[in-house]
Structure 1
Amino acid sequence: MTIEIIKADLSKQDHTEALIQLMSEYALDAMGGGQDLSEFAKNNLVAELSKRSSAHVIIAFVDRIPAGLAICLEGFSTFACKPLLNIHDLIVSAPYRGQGLSKLILQMVEAIACDLGCCKITLEVLDGNHAAKAAYKSCGFSGYELNPEMGHALFWEKKLSIATCP
């Protein structure tokens, strides 16, 4: 078995096909919401990511088959006054789970973050995703809190649409 973890080149067709395939699989999984990506997302995701120099895409191939993916976006920590790297999406394809691919992907993410001078790597994980939480903990991640008396940070959202935006 040959494992290759690479920073994707979104001008290469095999990389873009792997990105869409893995993101579609992630979206269909219960941890991704259980619904496939929209046709709009499938048709525009690569172009939109390519416009963003702050986007970093890592793909894991096993014997040249797409097996894992991380999409990271640079952010900024105002408290540290330094960049940070947020793992926005991370998936290991079902047939390849339990083989250590997430740890290898996270090592590549950390190397990119270090090259960028980041002060930390952030991510969100569903409370019920015990396998992912275990993998993240084994790689040094933990819940975020500024003050233990105030508790852990929670990730919230407000969905926007054309109708809600002026």
Structure 2
Amino acid sequence: MTVEVIKADYHNEQHAKDVLLLLNAYAMDPMGGGEALCEYTQQHLIENLKQQNNVFSVLVYVDDKPAAIANCVVGFSTFNAKPLVNFHDVAVLKAYRRQGLTQLMFNKVEQIAKEMGCCKLTLEVLEGNTVAKSAYTKQGFAGYELDPKMGQAVFWQKKL
């Protein structure tokens, strides 16, 4: 088994196809919402990603086949006055789970983040996704809190 972990080039036709394939597989998984990406997203995602200077994707290939993806967004920590990287989407195709690909992918993202001078990595995970939570804990992630009396931070959203 050969494994390759790369930063995607959205201008590379194969990378672009693989980003869409992996993200759509994640979207259809219960942990990704259970529905395929909408037609608009499928038609416009790559062109829109090409225009972003604060987004990157890491792809994992096993025997030259797409197996995993991490879509990351660069943000900024005002408390640290430095950039940060948020794992926005993390997915491993079912056939490739439990093979250590998440660790390899996270190591690549951490390397990129350090090269950018980032102060931290962040992510969100569903409460019931115990497998992912275990993998993230192994990578050094933990719940976020400023004051233990106030509890852990909770990720909220408001759709527009």
TM-score, with length taken from structure 1: 0.95
Which position in structure 1 is the counterpart of 2:28?
A: 28
State the number of aligned residues.
160
- Structure 1 distance, partners of 2:76, 2:28, is 31
Counterparts of 1:22-61 in structure 2, within 5 Å, are 22-61=22-61
**Is the partner of 1:23 in helix, strand or coil?**
helix
Residue of structure 1 equivalent to 2:123: 123
Quote the Cα distance in structure 2 between the aligned partners of 1:82 and 1:10.
26
Structure 2 residues not aligned, in runs of 5+ = none
Deviation at 1:8, TM superposition (A): 0.5
Aligned partners of 1:29, 1:18: CA distance in 2, in Å? 17
Partner of 1:18: 18
Residue 76 of structure 1: how far off its partner (Å): 0.4
SS of match in other structure, 2:75? strand
SS class of match (2:61): strand
CA distance in 2, matches of 1:42, 1:65: 20
- Structure 1 residue 99 corresponds to structure 2 residue 96: no
SS of the aligned residue for 1:67 comes to: strand
Tell me the alpha carbon deviations over residues 89-114 of structure 1, each in whole angstroms, 9 at most, x when there is no partner: 01001100000000000000100110
Distance in 2 (alpha carbons) for counterparts of 1:143 and 1:157: 18
Query: Which residue pairs with 1:153 in the alignment?
Result: 153
